[in-house]
């Protein structure tokens, strides 16, 4: 009997590992607390929101603490027996994104309080779904392992589907939720298929290992090349779905229009940012570990999709009559811009992915402010207009409610990317990063982005024209103070960030450097790929088992 | 110098007006209403106090009077180079700041009363003060900025404020048109200015004053070694760079000059300034007389290394200034709108400043800039006070003999006019005399033009004064004229004191001769020497050799001073004879030279000329482009959008529930990309 127990792999993480992942633990604790809270304190929306904000604050506290640890001790992995191929990672990028999500959650909660709280009966469920999807998104950015990626994407997606359909009494909401879910399911299936092919071929799901060994296979040609290329692309589909990159964007406008506006604001930033940063992490891993021949192919694929995404997003945006749909397409276009940065991986060793990640980090922060502000104003206006989300509902807003119209103006102009707003500076960094990479592909991307910016000017300005140049006999709308303050804070921050752009750039540089990157092992002689496919899994599975005894 | 104190002061100077403007703009419409002037009064006033402390700090610093304050790195230009937000504090900045914030404070105080009627604030009262505050902030950025980027930012921002304030009464079509004209004409100049800055960046690879000026100096001297050290490049590159610099500097100077010509309303881009008088009088006083229009002079003095490097460019500037001075003065002779007379006079005086810069007398130009700011702001504010009393009428033919009705306004304006006319011992006398002196040293003709303009100036100024304040007492019908209140009169009084005494900053008391006890080139010039050194280094040699002692030598040396004093009095006397003693005389003169009068009255038909040669063809081009836009571009756009619209169409049908369409799209896209992947790898 004792022998049998000894045979059972016993493993328990150390206290330090718990500390490293305390944000996630606090996050889960918050979820449980909100779920159970109705039993103790009832279903009052304000109480629940307050509880959620406290939970978020505690999580943020631990996140900051771990940031401190990371900055002295370097990136960490843990909560896994195999520390070399860790499932979860705590490094600058993942912690930065956690912090961003938490701040954004607070913003969304404030918006929700001022727009929906009054007529909401299911506050606990709403917050569980919201914070749950946030946890999933944060996990997406904290892993190098394809299995964990799949789980995290699903973790982020499932609550998102539900939260999009949260407007139970509206048909459009249910339809949006269903479409979102079916798309999500298809994408997940494709991703899983790709993951299984990769596991079958390499015998590991650790991206570092794969990146280090994929070069010769892709260069080798024949069936293996096709298989591995296809598998990698299938995994990419799952991420592209989250980013809503063309052609996996079909769900986006429908889901964004059907959902409540604060949910739209949440998904348009958080879900896309999670997908993008996951992509950036993969880019980083490939930059460090893969050879130039792989990088070029990957860069071309990303560049093509980025081009398609921003161009189609902008073109489709400009015939929209619903401002939510318009902003949904705008968010697709912005995802395209950010993806363009992900394409910067020219040659391993010569260009660090560092610039690309830094660019995206800065962009995501500003993008969050712009979208929170713009969707915030939409939500506030819509809530007083009987859920009318057409662009004409904004007519005359500049004269009746300047406190809403001016931040809206700031956010829209910033979304176009012209000074004096922060959207300009981040787009400038993006163009500068592409220019610095100095090769035909990146110049082409930069030109695409500039042309797209010109296209986008037109449809954003349609809203401005409605707000300031159209007359309206509607009375001024009375909105809660908290909502007005939130959107104005976003607007003002956009100017402040332009005037003092250096802190943003410095932080983006800091958090994009020093990412977790384990040393890969050469799996086998690449000469015989067939034997590779058969022999590797056994070796690789054996290795962690030895470790388990020690644990 | 106490650097941290200077940093704090300069930040205060920037932030106080901005905060005041923000406060007036945000709280004005709902909460402050008729009290909207308070935040701006305090903001600008605080900035003025800080500016004077800063001036004393810099003045007390002696040799080391230039400090560069790097506030923070702004944004990266890619490749590791940064654009910084940096402030340069030196004597020129200190003087400019003191002038700008000092006059601004008085104008803001004045506006409190001027911008209301029967004690009721005018429509847009808070908007007016918010814009004023914004203007002061922008002007301070322009003056304080330590690199060309901030200079450009401030340059464009003051242009924007000028546009907003000229069009303050935007319901009036003439005001809206004037604002548009000012903006567009300035665009022409600013286009060149922007190109100049771009060329600087291309040539030097950076935009900060210190590096650019040092590199320009070394490049002109062909000091290859030092240049290599400065730019951290090797000797071969440095010698190439030196060649590039010496060949490009004149081009850069000319491009920058475009901006100065537009902003400081010189020939041929002066046409916007007379129309800009559509704005409220305090705006005319502050922006279009005392401060913004002098930005061009400031910029040229600041970029002395670049401008002084080419004698041809300097000669061009001098000729341009002289031509503008006499040209605008002749137009002013026959105008009847008080503010337009002053506007042409401003153009003429700015011409003097250009002449000064062009004759390597940058210190004198800045000196004239300072004295002119006092007396011209005074005259405009006085004209505003007259306008206020006359119920908005400013045509000197429609009233007269106001000196009993508006005694304080009359007295202060008389002082201002005398200063403008160059009456001996007042501010304008000293500064103008210096410029004319420098002009004689450069070329006799330039000096003669300067003297003739001085006579004309004295004449038209006192023509205006005599017509408005002397003779039979007349007021327009239905106007109950009354002297303005203390908020208007106190600033006038302070400016009048400035108009009398500000000239003495620029002269020094001479112990020697009897008549020569006051000499030009005083404390101000000495103070500005570190900045104007590039001009002095290139100055004409005749300049240096102006020494003379003893009684007769002093007379010989000072003949110009006496001559210009005499000419000024002569001009005033002629005006007196024509408009007070023999009022029929102007009629006779007009009848004798009808054509000359006609041409002058229509301002040499320059506006008409521009209209036929530039504006109308451009309008036609615009209409053509619009038509082309409607037919061609819209057509192309329509054609291009076929794809998204087809997309949109299929979208709508799929929206009804056909999810399969989405799936199909996704599968097709997937397949396409896979094909692409296979083709590229």
Q: What is the pLDDT of residues B582-640, one digit of tens each?
A: 888 888 888 888 888 888 888 888 888 888 887 888 888 878 877 776 777 677 766 76
Shortest Cα distance, chain B CAs vs residue A126, angstroms: 27
At residue A12 the predicted structure's pLDDT band, cuts being 50, 70 and 90, is confident
- B628 CB near a chain A CB, below 8 Å? no
Higher pLDDT, A536 or B199: B199
Would you state the structure tokens that stand for residue A442, as one six-digit string? Answer: 């990146």
At residue A243 the predicted structure's pLDDT band, cuts being 50, 70 and 90, is very high
Residues from chain A contacting residue B639 (CB–CB below 8 Å): none
DSSP bridge partners of A390: A322
pLDDT, tens digit, 9 for 90 and up, residues B497-521: 998 888 888 776 665 444 455 666 6
- Answer whether B429's CB lies under 8 Å from B514's CB: no
Give the integer Cα–Cα distance in Å for B122 and B359: 46
- What is the structure's pLDDT at B645? 62
- What is the structure's pLDDT at B681? 55
**Which of A173-182, A287-296, B456-465 is predicted with the least confidence, judged by mean pLDDT?**
A287-296
Inter-chain contact B644–A179, Cβ cutoff 8 Å? Answer: no
pLDDT, tens digit, 9 for 90 and up, residues B17-72: 999 999 998 887 778 788 888 999 999 999 999 999 999 888 887 777 788 888 88
Best interface-test mutation with A: which of B75, B81, B82, B156 has the largest number of A CBs within 10 A? B75
Residue A481 pLDDT greater than 60, yes or no: yes
At residue A539 the predicted structure's pLDDT band, cuts being 50, 70 and 90, is very low
Shortest Cα distance, chain A CAs vs residue B50, angstroms: 23
pLDDT, tens digit, 9 for 90 and up, residues B631-669: 776 777 667 666 656 665 655 555 445 677 777 777 888
Residue A197 CA, chain-centre distance (Å), reads: 25
- What is the structure's pLDDT at B36? 86
Helix (H, G, I), strand (E, B) or coil at B72: strand
Nearest CA in chain A to B153: A420
Give the integer Cα–Cα distance in Å for A466 and A326: 14
Q: What are phi and psi of B520, to 5 degrees?
A: -70, 180
Give the integer Cα–Cα distance in Å for A471 and A452: 30
**Which of A129-138, A306-315, B361-370, B553-562 is predicted with the least confidence, judged by mean pLDDT?**
B553-562
- What is the structure's pLDDT at A320? 82
At residue A493 the predicted structure's pLDDT band, cuts being 50, 70 and 90, is very high
Q: What angle do CA B617, B618, B623 make, to 5 degrees?
A: 95
- Answer whether B272's CB lies under 8 Å from B181's CB: yes
- Answer whether B104's CB lies under 8 Å from B286's CB: yes
Specify burial of residue B472 (Cβ count, 10 A radius: 0-12, 13-18, 19+): exposed
Beta strands in B413-549 (DSSP E): 507-509, 518-520
- Put simply, the chain B residues between 51 and 80 with a CB less than 8 A from any chain A CB are 72-79
Residue A527 pLDDT greater than 70, yes or no: no
- A242 CB near a chain B CB, below 8 Å? no
- What is the structure's pLDDT at A9? 64
Inter-chain contact A502–B74, Cβ cutoff 8 Å? Answer: yes
| Cα→Cα distances A217→A129, A223, A518, A530, Å | 42, 10, 21, 11
- B517 CB near a chain A CB, below 8 Å? no
- ipTM of the complex model: 0.70
- Between A301, A315, A501, which is nearest B673 by CB? A301
Mean pLDDT value across residues B378-398: 88
Shortest Cα distance, chain A CAs vs residue B614, angstroms: 29
Residues from chain A contacting residue B655 (CB–CB below 8 Å): 254
Residue B552 pLDDT greater than 80, yes or no: no
- B681 CB near a chain A CB, below 8 Å? yes
- Put simply, the chain A residues between 413 and 432 with a CB less than 8 A from any chain B CB are 425, 428-429, 432
Residue B241 pLDDT greater than 90, yes or no: no
Mean pLDDT value across residues B139-161: 92
Mean pLDDT value across residues A343-364: 75
- What is the structure's pLDDT at A529? 46
Give the integer Cα–Cα distance in Å for B298 and A93: 48
- Could you tell me which residues come within 8 angstroms of residue B606 by beta carbon, excluding any fewer than 6 positions away? B268, B271
- Which residue's entry shows tokens 């007259």? B386
Residue B487 pLDDT greater than 60, yes or no: yes
Residue A292 pLDDT greater than 80, yes or no: no
Nearest CA in chain B to A227: B678
CB atoms within 10 A of CB B70: 12
Inter-chain contact A229–B681, Cβ cutoff 8 Å? Answer: yes
**Which of A289-293, A296-300, A383-387, B364-368 is predicted with the least confidence, judged by mean pLDDT?**
A289-293
Q: What angle do CA B319, B540, B302 make, to 5 degrees?
A: 70
Closest-CA residue to A159 (of A144, A142, A180): A180
- What is the structure's pLDDT at B21? 92
- A480 CB near a chain B CB, below 8 Å? no
Buried b or exposed e, range A96-122, using 16+ CB within 10 angstroms: bbbbbbbebbbbbbbbbbbbbbeebee
Shortest Cα distance, chain A CAs vs residue B179, angstroms: 20
Inter-chain contact A304–B673, Cβ cutoff 8 Å? Answer: yes
- What is the structure's pLDDT at B674? 75
* Ranges of each domain in chain A: 29-535
**Which of A91-105, A133-147, A526-540, B76-90 is predicted with the least confidence, judged by mean pLDDT?**
A526-540
- Which residue's entry shows tokens 């909660």? A109
Residue B277 pLDDT greater than 70, yes or no: yes
- What is the structure's pLDDT at A540? 42
Inter-chain contact B78–A436, Cβ cutoff 8 Å? Answer: yes
- A254 CB near a chain B CB, below 8 Å? yes
**Which of A351-355, A454-458, A533-537 is predicted with the least confidence, judged by mean pLDDT?**
A533-537
- What is the structure's pLDDT at A152? 94
Residues from chain B contacting residue A435 (CB–CB below 8 Å): 78
Closest-CA residue to B106 (of B498, B398, B420): B498
Nearest CA in chain B to A420: B153
Inter-chain contact A436–B77, Cβ cutoff 8 Å? Answer: no
Q: State the helix-helix crossing angle for A272-289 and A354-384, rounded to 10 degrees.
A: 170
Whether pTM exceeds 0.90: no
- What is the structure's pLDDT at B16? 93
Higher pLDDT, A119 or B150: B150
- What is the structure's pLDDT at B556? 52
Shortest Cα distance, chain B CAs vs residue A451, angstroms: 14
Residue A373 pLDDT greater than 90, yes or no: yes
Residue A7 pLDDT greater than 70, yes or no: no
CB atoms within 10 A of CB A548: 13
- Answer whether B505's CB lies under 8 Å from B366's CB: no
- For A162, what's the count of Cα atoms within 13 Å in the CB-facing half-sphere? 15
Inter-chain contact A297–B663, Cβ cutoff 8 Å? Answer: no
Inter-chain contact A297–B72, Cβ cutoff 8 Å? Answer: no
- Between A246, A316, A505, which is nearest B669 by CB? A246
Residue A75 pLDDT greater than 90, yes or no: no
Instruction: Report chain B's mean pLDDT, rounded to a whole number.
Output: 84
**DSSP states along B391-445:** TT--BTTS-B-TTTTSHHHHHHHHHHHHHHHT-TTSHHHHHHHHHHHHHHHH-HH
**Which of A138-152, A240-254, B76-90, B327-341 is predicted with the least confidence, judged by mean pLDDT?**
B76-90
- What is the structure's pLDDT at B643? 62
Residues from chain B contacting residue A318 (CB–CB below 8 Å): 641, 644
Residue A72 pLDDT greater than 70, yes or no: yes
- What is the structure's pLDDT at A542? 39
- A312 CB near a chain B CB, below 8 Å? yes
Best interface-test mutation with A: which of B662, B663, B667, B678 has the largest number of A CBs within 10 A? B662
pLDDT, tens digit, 9 for 90 and up, residues A311-349: 888 888 877 888 998 999 999 999 999 999 888 875 544
- What is the structure's pLDDT at B68? 87
- What is the structure's pLDDT at B644? 59
């Amino acid at each position: 009997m004792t022998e049998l127990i000894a045979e059972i792999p016993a493993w328990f993480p150390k206290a330090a590992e718990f500390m490293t992942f305390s944000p996630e633990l606090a996050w889960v604790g918050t979820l449980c607390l909100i779920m159970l809270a109705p039993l103790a304190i009832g279903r009052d929306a304000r109480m629940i929101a307050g509880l959620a904000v406290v939970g978020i604050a505690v999580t943020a506290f631990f996140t900051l603490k771990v940031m401190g640890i990371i900055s002295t001790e370097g990136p960490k992995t843990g909560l896994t027996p195999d520390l070399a191929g860790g499932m979860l990672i705590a490094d600058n990028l993942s912690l930065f994104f956690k912090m961003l999500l938490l701040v954004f959650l607070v913003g969304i909660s404030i918006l929700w309080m001022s727009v929906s709280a009054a007529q909401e009966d299911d506050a606990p469920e709403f917050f569980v779904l919201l914070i749950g999807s946030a946890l999933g998104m944060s996990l997406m950015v904290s892993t190098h392992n394809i299995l964990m990626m799949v789980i995290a994407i699903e973790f982020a997606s499932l609550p998102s589907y539900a939260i999009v359909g949260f407007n139970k009494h509206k048909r459009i909401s249910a339809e949006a939720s269903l479409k979102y879910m079916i798309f999500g399911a298809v994408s997940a299936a494709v991703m899983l298929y790709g993951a299984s092919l990769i596991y079958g071929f390499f015998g590991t799901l650790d991206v570092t290992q794969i990146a280090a060994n994929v070069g010769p296979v892709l260069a080798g040609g024949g069936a293996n090349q096709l298989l591995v290329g296809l598998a990698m692309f299938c995994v990419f589909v799952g991420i592209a779905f989250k980013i809503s990159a063309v052609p996996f964007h079909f769900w986006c406008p429908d889901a964004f229009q059907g959902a409540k506006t604060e949910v739209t604001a949440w998904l348009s930033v958080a879900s896309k940012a999670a997908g993008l940063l996951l992509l950036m992490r993969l880019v980083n891993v490939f930059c460090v570990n893969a050879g130039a021949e792989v990088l070029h192919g990957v860069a071309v694929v990303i560049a093509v999709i980025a081009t398609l995404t921003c161009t189609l997003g902008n073109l489709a945006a400009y015939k929209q009559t619903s401002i939510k749909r318009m902003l949904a397409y705008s968010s697709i276009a912005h995802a395209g811009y950010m993806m363009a940065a992900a394409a910067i991986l020219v040659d391993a060793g010569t260009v660090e992915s560092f610039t690309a990640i830094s660019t995206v980090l800065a962009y995501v922060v500003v993008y969050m402010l712009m979208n929170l502000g713009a969707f915030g104003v939409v939500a506030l206006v819509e809530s007083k207009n009987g859920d009318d989300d057409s662009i004409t509902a904004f007519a005359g807003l500049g004269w009746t409610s300047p406190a809403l119209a001016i931040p809206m103006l700031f956010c829209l102009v910033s979304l176009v990317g012209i000074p004096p707003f922060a959207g300009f500076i981040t787009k400038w960094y993006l163009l500068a990063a592409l220019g610095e990479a100095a090769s035909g592909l990146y110049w082409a991307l930069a030109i695409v982005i500039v042309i797209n910016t010109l296209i986008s000017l037109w449809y954003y300005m349609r809203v401005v024209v409605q707000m300031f140049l159209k007359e309206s006999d509607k009375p001024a709308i009375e909105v809660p103070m908290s909502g007005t303050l939130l959107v104005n804070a976003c607007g003002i921050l956009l100017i402040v960030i332009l005037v003092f752009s250096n802190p943003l750039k410095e932080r983006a540089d800091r958090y994009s450097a020093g990412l977790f990157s384990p040393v890969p092992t050469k799996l086998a002689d690449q000469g015989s790929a067939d034997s590779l496919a058969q022999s590797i899994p056994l070796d690789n599975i054996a290795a962690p088992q030895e470790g388990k005894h020690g644990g | 110098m106490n650097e941290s104190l200077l940093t704090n002061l300069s930040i205060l100077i920037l932030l106080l007006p901005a905060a005041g403007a923000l406060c007036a703009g945000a709280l004005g419409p709902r909460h402050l209403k008729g009290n909207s002037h308070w935040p701006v009064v305090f903001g600008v006033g605080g900035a003025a106090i800080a500016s004077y402390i800063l001036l004393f700090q810099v003045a007390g610093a002696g040799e080391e009077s230039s400090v560069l304050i790097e506030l923070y790195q702004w944004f990266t230009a890619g490749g590791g180079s940064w654009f910084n937000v940096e402030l340069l504090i030196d004597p020129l900045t200190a003087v400019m700041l003191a002038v700008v914030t000092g006059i601004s404070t008085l104008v803001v105080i004045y506006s409190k009363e001027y911008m209301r009627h029967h004690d009721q604030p005018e429509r847009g009262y808070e908007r007016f003060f918010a814009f004023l505050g914004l203007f002061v902030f922008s002007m301070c950025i322009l003056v304080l900025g330590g690199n060309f980027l901030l200079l450009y930012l401030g340059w464009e921002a003051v242009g924007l404020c000028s546009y907003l304030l000229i069009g303050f009464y935007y319901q009036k079509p003439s005001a809206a048109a004037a604002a548009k004209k000012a903006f567009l004409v300035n665009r022409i100049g600013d286009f060149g200015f922007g190109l100049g800055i771009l060329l600087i960046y291309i040539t030097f690879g950076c935009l900060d004053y210190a590096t650019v000026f040092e590199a320009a100096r070394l490049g002109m001297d062909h000091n290859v070694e030092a240049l290599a050290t400065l730019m951290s490049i090797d000797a071969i590159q440095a010698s190439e760079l030196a060649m590039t610099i010496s060949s490009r500097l004149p081009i850069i100077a000319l491009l920058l000059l475009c901006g100065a010509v537009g902003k400081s309303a010189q020939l041929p881009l002066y046409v916007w300034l007379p129309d800009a008088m559509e704005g409220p009088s305090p705006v005319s006083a502050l922006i279009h007389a005392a401060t913004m229009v002098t930005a061009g002079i400031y910029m040229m003095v600041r970029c002395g290394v670049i401008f002084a490097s080419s004698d041809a460019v300097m000669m061009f500037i001098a000729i341009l200034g002289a031509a503008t001075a006499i040209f605008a003065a002749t137009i002013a002779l026959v105008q009847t709108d008080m503010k337009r007379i002053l506007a042409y006079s401003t153009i003429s005086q700015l011409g003097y400043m250009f002449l000064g810069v062009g004759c390597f007398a940058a210190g004198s130009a800045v000196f004239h800039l300072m004295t002119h700011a006092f007396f011209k702001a005074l005259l405009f504010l006085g004209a505003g006070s007259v306008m206020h009393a006359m119920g908005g009428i400013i045509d000197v033919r429609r009233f007269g003999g106001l000196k009993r009705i508006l005694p304080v306004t009359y007295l202060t304006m008389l002082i201002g006019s005398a200063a403008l006319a160059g009456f001996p011992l007042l501010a304008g006398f000293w500064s103008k005399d210096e410029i004319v002196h420098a002009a004689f040293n450069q070329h006799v003709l330039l000096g003669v033009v300067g003297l003739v303009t001085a006579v004309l100036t004295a004449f038209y100024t006192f023509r205006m004064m005599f017509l408005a304040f002397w003779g039979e007492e007349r007021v327009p019908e239905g106007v109950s004229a009354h002297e303005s209140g203390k908020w208007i009169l106190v600033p006038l009084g302070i400016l009048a004191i400035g108009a009398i005494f500000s000239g003495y900053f620029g002269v020094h008391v001479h112990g020697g001769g009897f008549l020569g006890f006051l000499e030009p080139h005083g404390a101000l010039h000495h103070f500005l020497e570190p900045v104007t050194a590039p001009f002095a280094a290139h100055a004409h040699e005749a300049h240096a050799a102006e020494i003379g002692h003893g009684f007769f030598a002093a007379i010989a040396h000072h003949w110009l001073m006496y001559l210009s004093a005499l000419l000024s009095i002569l001009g005033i006397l002629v005006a007196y004879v024509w408009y007070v003693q023999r009022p029929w005389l102007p009629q006779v003169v007009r009848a004798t030279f009808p054509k000359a009068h006609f041409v002058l009255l229509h301002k040499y038909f320059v506006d008409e000329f521009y209209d036929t040669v530039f504006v109308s063809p451009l309008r036609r081009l615009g209409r053509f482009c619009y038509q082309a836009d409607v037919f061609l571009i819209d057509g192309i756009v329509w054609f291009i959008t076929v794809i998204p619209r087809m997309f949109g169409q299929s979208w709508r049908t799929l929206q009804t529930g056909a999810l399969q369409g989405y799936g199909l799209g996704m599968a097709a896209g997937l397949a396409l990309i896979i094909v692409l992947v296979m083709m590229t790898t």
